[in-house]
Amino acid sequence: MTHPMLPPEDQLKQWEDDWFYSRENVDVLLINAYAAGADAELEACLADVSSLGNRAMASTIRDIRRPKLTSLKQQALKALGSNTKVGECRVIEHHDHEAIRRALEALPDD
C-alpha cells in the first residue's frame, strides 16, 4: 500500500533491522515512525507554502518547528561557561554535569 505519508521502504527495512538485530525497544520504533510521519507532513505543508511564493515563510516555519539540536560539544562548553562560583570553588549543576559527561563519553578511546 502506498500513501504519501508512509515512510519509504528502505526506512521501514532499517527500522525492522534495528528492532530485530539490535533488540531496540518498540517504543523507540514508534517514536521514529511518528517523527518520520510528522516530518513528512511538515515538509508537504511547507512545499505548499513555498508553491504560493512564500519560500522565506516556509523556511522560517521549518526553523521554528524543527530547530537544530545543540551538539554535545556546544552543551558541554555552555555548561563549563555557566557554572556558579561559590566562594573560591566553581559549582557545576547536575544537568550541566550530565552534558559534560555525555560529551566526554562520545569522544573516541585512545
pLDDT-based confidence at residue 86 (cuts at 50, 70, 90)? low
Q: How far apart are CA 32 and CA 11, in angstroms?
A: 10
pLDDT for 7 equals 74
Q: CB of 6 within 8 A of CB of 44?
A: no
Q: Hey, what's the cell of 92?
A: 557545576
Over residues 7-52, the pLDDT tens digits come to 778 877 887 777 766 666 777 777 878 888 888 899 999 999 999 9
User: What backbone torsions phi and psi does residue 23 show, to the nearest 5 degrees?
Assistant: 55, 40
Four-CA torsion 57, 59, 65, 66, nearest 10 degrees: 180
Q: How far apart are CA 83 and CA 90, in angstroms?
A: 6
